[in-house]
Amino acid sequence: MSEQQRKRKVLILDDDPDVLEYASVVFQDCGFDLLICRPYDDLDAALAQHPDLIVVDLLMPGRDGIQVLHRLSKVEIRCPMLIVSMCGPAVLRSAQSVAKLLGFEVIGFLRKPFYKDDVMKLTDSLRKHEKGSVELKRLMDSGRIINHYQPIIDSQLNRVIRMEALARFHHPVSGVIPPGELFRWARRLQATEKIEETLLTGAIHDAMRMEEQGHRLPMSFNLSAETLGAPDFPDRLEKLCRENRFLLSQLTIEISEVEAHRHLVPVLSSLTRLSIRGCSVALEYGGAIFAKPQIENFPLNELKLTPALVQGSIEDQDRRNVLSAVVEHATRLEIPVTAVGVESMEQLGLLLDLGVTRFQGYLFSEDRQFDSAMYYLSRAPEKLAELGMGPVEQSRVSNGY
């Protein structure tokens, strides 16, 4: 069946019968098959019909769209979302931010009352999303999804203490595709685990190659809840490290607070099992889900402040207050804090004043392919000295083997 012939399924979540009737007519006129569900009915049954698009109204009788988004975050959503509202631009931007933090892809908004032409315009965005998923499947087999590497700097030791592997998708026309978009496509194809385990194996191999060239550095790798929460994952990871003669204690597994929230029990179980075996654990904290005290529930070796918290901290007093409170709390728990997305000397100075000791970001180095990362490591002492971080030891010094 061709792209033009295939009818897409739209799942409309609403409690208002009038809205449902109106939306049903418009979406049917645009060629969609309808799936209708009240937000607190059996969502699993509705999602099992594999909708191509989910429509959520921000204002419904008795509850609001943000509550619905949180309800949806507890199940696996692999299709894009459309938000309907009569609210102003500020509320729409805020709703989109919430949706993104919860792991959804919002392809657009419809302001009430909306018409057929409005929906048809958004169909183009949906078509691009579907094309991206097909392209990902094709390029997965061509080896264009690779690891880049970015250093993590310790300001007390004045040197690189670890490298983080970052998934990058090299598109032949568009260039490097951001990881958020890459993994949205991967989830839609149910290929997240396959991609992550392939990249994790590559990162371990590259860590051993770095050692052969004189740079003995631990490696960080970010995982999704799908991969990390699998019951057999700790055993598979330990076996992978053993087969490659790479110490599990030299690996840091990172997960975002959003991902941890999505499957809290299996994720926490796996992190605890890995920690028992000597693997380090880092939580990427952006303030979206967990309150500060809940950090204590994780076997953390590191708390990573996301770019969303770090960037804009110079101009935004509220953001500085959040940063200060989080760093103070982590310090009381004796958990080292790493600030990610550091791009300026002003940000670095502020973070140092707040008590942050580890840094990652373009101020120090962009993410690089393996050979370029090796060149950076060879010049890291001079680069850090240029930033006023003093005479530094070579990053070739052993870091715990």
- Reported as a single tens digit per residue, the pLDDT across 296-323 is 889 999 999 999 889 888 888 888 888 9
* 33 within domain boundaries: yes
- The answer on pLDDT for 272 being more than 90 is yes
CATH (domain of 104): 3.40.50.2300
Q: Are residues 62 and 153 in the same domain?
A: no
Q: Are residues 281 and 370 in the same domain?
A: yes
Confidence (pTM): 0.67
Last residue of a domain, one of 135, 170, 195: 135
* 3 within domain boundaries: no
Q: What is the pLDDT of residues 165-182, one digit of tens each?
A: 998 877 666 677 666 666
Residue 394 CB: number of other CB atoms within 10 A? 13
Please give the Cα distance from 221 to 214 (Å, whole number).
Answer: 21
- The pLDDT-based confidence of 251 (bands split at 50, 70, 90) is very high
Q: Are residues 183 and 293 in the same domain?
A: yes
* 118 within domain boundaries: yes
Q: What is the 3-state secondary structure (H, E, C) of 13-38?
A: ECCCHHHHHHHHHHHHHCCCEEEEEC
- The answer on pLDDT for 290 being more than 70 is no
In which domain, by residue range, is 129 found? 9-135
CATH (domain of 366): 3.20.20.450
Say if residues 51 and 82 touch (Cβ distance below 8 Å).
no
* 1 within domain boundaries: no
Of 33, 43, 39, the residue nearest 58 (C-alpha): 39
Q: What is the pLDDT of residues 340-391, one digit of tens each?
A: 999 999 999 999 999 999 999 999 999 999 999 999 999 999 999 998 885 5
Domain count, the chain: 2
* 31 within domain boundaries: yes
- The answer on pLDDT for 78 being more than 80 is no
Of 145, 151, 146, the residue nearest 362 (C-alpha): 151
Tell me the range of 49-63, 132-146, 191-205 where mean pLDDT is highest: 191-205
Say if residues 399 and 216 touch (Cβ distance below 8 Å).
yes
Q: Are residues 111 and 171 in the same domain?
A: no
Of 379, 309, 390, the residue nearest 350 (C-alpha): 309
Per-residue model confidence (pLDDT) at position 212: 93
Mean of all residue pLDDT scores within the chain: 82
Lowest mean pLDDT across 12-26, 123-137, 195-209, 319-333: 123-137
Q: Are residues 242 and 108 in the same domain?
A: no
pLDDT higher at 141 or 3: 141
Last residue of a domain, one of 85, 111, 135: 135
Q: Are residues 154 and 108 in the same domain?
A: no
Last residue of a domain, one of 109, 135, 161: 135
* 4 within domain boundaries: no
pLDDT higher at 62 or 111: 111
- The pLDDT-based confidence of 59 (bands split at 50, 70, 90) is confident
Beta-carbon contacts of 18 under 8 Å, excluding residues fewer than 6 positions away, are none
Q: Are residues 221 and 151 in the same domain?
A: yes
Q: Are residues 226 and 342 in the same domain?
A: yes
Q: Are residues 303 and 165 in the same domain?
A: yes
Which DSSP letter does residue 344 get?
A: S
* 393 within domain boundaries: no
Q: Are residues 16 and 76 in the same domain?
A: yes
Share of the chain above pLDDT 90, in %: 39
CA distances from 2 to 5, 7, 8, 119, 287 (A): 5, 10, 12, 21, 44
- The answer on pLDDT for 254 being more than 80 is yes
Please give the Cα distance from 150 to 304 (Å, whole number).
Answer: 14
Token pair of 172 as six digits: 């032949």
Lowest mean pLDDT across 18-22, 187-191, 249-253: 187-191
Place of tokens 């901290």: 313
- Angle value at C-alpha 374, between 371 and 380, nearest 5 degrees: 145
Q: Are residues 151 and 63 in the same domain?
A: no
Say if residues 351 and 304 touch (Cβ distance below 8 Å).
no
Say if residues 362 and 344 touch (Cβ distance below 8 Å).
no
Q: Are residues 69 and 214 in the same domain?
A: no
pLDDT higher at 360 or 71: 360
* 76 within domain boundaries: yes
- The pLDDT-based confidence of 235 (bands split at 50, 70, 90) is very high
Residue 379 CB: number of other CB atoms within 10 A? 12
